[in-house]
Amino acid sequence: MARAVYLDHASTTPADPEVIAAMLPWYTEGFGNPSTVYSLGLTAADVVQKSRESIAQTIGAQPDEIYFTSGGTESDNWAILGTADAQQKKGRHLITSVIEHHAVLESMEFLEKHGYEVTKVPVDSGGLVDPEDVRKAIRPDTVLVSIMHANNEVGTIEPIAEIGKITREAGVLFHVDAVQTAGKLPLDVTELGVDMLSMSAHKFYGPKGVGLMYLRKRARISPLLHGGGQEKGQRAGTHNVPGIVGMAKALELAKDRMNEDALREGALRDRLWTALQENIEAVHLNGDPVHRLPNNLNVRLDGIEGESMILMLDMQGICVSSGSACTTGSLEPSHVLRALGIPAEHAHGSLRVTLGRATTAEDIDRFMEVFPPIVARLREMSPIWCANCPCKKGN
């Protein structure tokens, strides 16, 4: 059996061994609670503060604007629910896009059930938000705009800085889900003009279960988690000290190698896309060909369904994702692909391949060795693949 080929880095990444090494002492000899006043706790508080400073510097923030959370989902929920609660005197209207992560969309839907109004701006066929649509959607009672930095399924990179200018002029808070871009693209919260930003460590070779929210000083939002007063009373819960240390280390490593990784993964991704077009008929790109994360390829294949592709690739040791209903845990195919104007029957046949640091040219070759026969087999099995259509018999 060939070695496993992991091509699902948008889903999660393996923690870097250097990250794990940095974390381990904080589980054992440095296990103290940073909220205590004896030296064991103070040492832990000190490393939390150093991590905060390191992360703040990387994203152009002040250390006291970084709040540690359990990950991207918590940060997104907090930004949206916390703003809605704190700003209700100003209004009860929020703006987001149709292709956000479920952590954003479902937080918005929760607010709708509680009497808030939400406007979802559309995207073009590549997944891009038009900043003018955001401008037009802003009302006197708008309290928050939440737009993702890059989409998790198709990798489209949104014009965040332009939207940031608009929200700044309008005096509306701006939250950005940067879960897919942290560690992959340069992030500067001032340049981007954002007030809040969500990150999750496990997406950039850090540990699972830890993330952060950047919250600009002048932005006032309510806490989501209430309790022991940690993080200046804004986010209760004992600090995940090893996780925080690991996240800071992972971001530091990512910053150092960001350009190199992007160029290398981008070249491999382009090579894969060329090979797919040369070796498989009726394969189409989903998403924007230019404004796109360098490690993301999302394609659809006529006449076949995504879960079957994933199961067959898994039998060959290859891990990828799909936007098929069967893989989203619902009856509906990906809301992102549907928002791009892709019909449901085609969205079911989509495949997301996301490369990472460990991806090699051999991995791409291995994928191309295995994948065309899988497509051929599933099309042979398919009642809607044209060659199988009774009307084609005898032609």
Q: Which residues are catalytic?
A: 326
Only segment of 62-70, 163-171, 231-239, 337-345 that touches another protein (CB under 8 A): 337-345
Calpha distance 285→287 (Å, rounded): 6
For residue 350, state whether it binds another protein (rule: CB under 8 A). Answer: no
- Residue 185 is given by DSSP the state S
For residue 1, state whether it binds another protein (rule: CB under 8 A). Answer: no
Answer for which of 1, 37, 290, 331 binds another protein (CB under 8 A) is 331
b/e burial code for range 297-311 (CB count within 10 A of at least 16 → b): bbbbbbbbbbebbbe
Chain mean position to CA 155: 9
Answer for which of 161, 381, 386, 387 binds another protein (CB under 8 A) is 381
For residue 325, state whether it binds another protein (rule: CB under 8 A). Answer: yes
Residues in CB range of 182: below 8 A, 6 or more apart: 199, 200, 203, 204, 251, 254
Calpha distance 109→104 (Å, rounded): 9
Answer for which of 21, 161, 315, 387 binds another protein (CB under 8 A) is 315
b/e burial code for range 370-389 (CB count within 10 A of at least 16 → b): bbeebbeebbeebeebeeee
For residue 343, state whether it binds another protein (rule: CB under 8 A). Answer: yes
For residue 117, state whether it binds another protein (rule: CB under 8 A). Answer: no
For residue 227, state whether it binds another protein (rule: CB under 8 A). Answer: no
Using an 8 Å Cβ cutoff, are 230 and 198 in contact? no
Answer for which of 345, 362, 369, 376 binds another protein (CB under 8 A) is 345
Residues 275-314 that bind another protein (CB under 8 A): 303-308, 311
CB of 372 to another protein, least distance (A): 18
CB of 356 to another protein, least distance (A): 24
Helices (H), 227-305: 241-279
CB of 344 to another protein, least distance (A): 4
Look at residue 300 and give its three-state secondary structure: strand
Task: Give 6: exposed, middle or buried? Use CB within 10 Å, 0-12, 13-18, 19+.
Answer: buried
Closer to another protein by Cβ: residue 8 or 158: 8
CB of 282 to another protein, least distance (A): 14
- Residues that bind another protein in the complex, under the rule CB under 8 A: 303-308, 311, 315, 324-326, 329, 331, 333, 343-345, 348, 380-384, 388, 393
